Amino acid sequence: MAFQTMTFVATNTPVNGVTYVTAESVSTDLLNLINDYNLQIPSAKLPNGVIKAAHVTAGIIDATKLTAAVAAGLNPAGTILAYGGVTAPTGYLLCQGQVVSQTTYAALFAVISTAYNTSGEGTGNFRLPNLQDNVPVGKSGTKALGTTGGEATHALSTAELASHTHAVTDPTHGHNLKYDTNGTATGGSTIIGGGNFSNLAGYVQAAATGISIVAAGSGTAHNNLQPYQVVNYIIKT
């Protein structure tokens, strides 16, 4: 299909019998916007010269309306953008999980439906995405639209710890040596009685070791956030 570039002629003088919309009635910013995006209209839908000054009601086309129309084409309903302002601009709402009317925001509801509902929305309403303290993540086969996940802080479980070692405290210790003669008596390191030395038997008495494992870590949750700066997210209605 052939395309014809929409041209604004800077004159009120008819060209080949056709009076065009004048450039004087269109802002410079809007003309730059049109040029930047190289807006074109299929010639099959808009034949050359079909729009004439006589066909356009005075004031019905102005820079504000044209800019809004172009913006609507560039950002369809449901588009989410990062925004540096405090309040949402006209045609947008903040993504704060608020409940809004399906009727009032019919175009937006047609796109996102109830994907971000949690509970308590009520009949005829739907919930917006809530990107307060959250970042958007792309939908996948394992992550459905509107689902949430992740943690701002996290305490590691034993299974999540990396393999590691601990220091051992060993204060050293000693044992007492005991002797039995013919199994009759025991005493310090002195043989009791005049028993047969050929039957002398010795053994080591048990003693506490005092060994301990040095504790490591606190078990408290750690910050799980990447470096960040806060902005608002807005959604096109």
Could you read off the pLDDT of 81-123 as tens digits, one per residue? 999 999 999 999 999 999 999 999 999 999 999 999 999 999 9
The rounded distance, in Å, linking the Cα atoms of 172 and 210 is 7
The rounded distance, in Å, linking the Cα atoms of 83 and 87 is 9
- Tokens (6 digits) for 84: 């540096």
Checking if the pLDDT of 66 tops 80, the result is: no
Other beta carbons less than 10 A from residue 112's beta carbon: 20
- Tokens (6 digits) for 162: 């990396």
Handedness of CA 52, 53, 57, 61 (dihedral sign): positive
Mean pLDDT score of the chain: 76
Checking if the pLDDT of 133 tops 70, the result is: yes
Which three-class secondary structure state does DSSP give residue 31? helix
Distances (CA, A) of 71 to 34, 66, 68, 215: 11, 9, 5, 61
